[in-house]
Each structure stands twice: as C-alpha cells, then as structure tokens.
Amino acid sequence: MSETQSSERITVFSDYVCPFCYLGRESLRQYQSTREDELEVDWHPFDLRSGKRNPDGSIDHSVDDGKDDEYYEQAKESVRRLQAKYDVEMDLDIATDIDSLPAQIASYYVKEHYDYETWLAFDVAVFEALWQDGQDIGDEDLLVELAEDAGVDGDEIRSALADGALRSEVRENFTAAKRQGITGVPTFAYDGHAARGAVPPEQLERLVEGS
C-alpha cells in the first residue's frame, strides 16, 4: 500500500451509519481547511451494531439494544441541530435499517491496498451516498460503483466482500477498538488525547494543536 507523505495524521474511529460520524467528518473538513499542512485521516472502523450481530455477521433487529423511539427522536434532534451548525444538507436524519459492515469491509480493503487519496475519495463517497442520497451502502453493486468512481477495480471489491478472512479481520478491528477504550463514535484521537462526538472545528484544533 502506498501512502502520501504527511506531517500529521489524526486517528478517527467511525461507523458509516452513524450520522454524528458524518457530521464529525464535516467538522474535521472545516478544521482541515484552515490549516496550511495536510492532516491525514487515519480511519479505523467501528461497529455500532456489534451487539445485534449473529455469528454470521447478519443483524438481528429483534435484539433490544436499549434504544427506543424516544432515544431516536432525541438523536434526530441533535442531528438537525448540528446540521444547522455546520451548514450540512442531509437526506436522512438517522439510518436504522442499513448495515454498514459491507461498506466497512470495502473501505478497509481500499485503505490497505490503495493510496490515501483513493481511499479518501471512496470513504467520502460512501458517506455521501448514505447521508446525501439515502442509498443503501450495504448493497454490493453500489459499493462497486462507488469504488470504480474512486479508481478502484470493482472486481476487487466483489472479491473483498466475499473474503471470509478479510471479514474476520475487520471484525477483529472492531474488537481492538473496544480494547483501546473506544465506546462510541466518532472518536478523534491525536497524540494520546481524544475527543468524542461531532465536536466543533475549534475543539479539533485544540486537540491537534493544543491551543
């Protein structure tokens, strides 16, 4: 895997189906736009649905995860507030029925086998497909299309999604994140410090620059 050379990298733990991850990345983009030097995203996948997954990786929506209608309504209100704050248009407020695991597997593959700019283009496209266009990022054909648009061989994505070893590796990354103390997303980490949630650009600036 080739990488662009960058003086700094910020680690980001996220799940594509998390609206706050999308909003947090917009906050990061706004902070990045104020910098002279590039700040790369070192993305790590996280699975918000881990407690509802069957052994084969499918989601059991009947599992009670403690998130009732009141929880989702409060989450939607928070999303709308941050949409206004960061000036972001979103087709969805929340995505409860979409499985992000295929997208995470595809993104992990691209990160490991392509350069940073290609991965970033794919990553942004996945987020926008879900939150801007309301598309199902669990759909293989959609992921192949997004990957090809980013310069990735679509057949490689199909092979990656069918690769049981790769799927296990991605799920091991979910477990590793929890071992590191990641309990929610987005989590931004830099130089031993962290910020959780769709925090504003100025908080990300303090995290990275200590100002």
- Domains of the chain, each with CATH number or no CATH: 16-57+67-209 (3.40.30.10)
Q: Cα separation of 180 and 177, whole Å?
A: 5
Q: Cα separation of 45 and 172, whole Å?
A: 10
Helix H or strand E segment including 41: strand 39-45
Q: Cα separation of 198 and 195, whole Å?
A: 9
Q: What is the pLDDT of residues 108-166, one digit of tens each?
A: 999 999 999 999 999 999 999 999 999 999 999 999 999 999 999 999 999 999 999 99
Confidence of residue 26 (pLDDT cuts 50, 70, 90): very high
Q: What is the pTM of this model?
A: 0.92
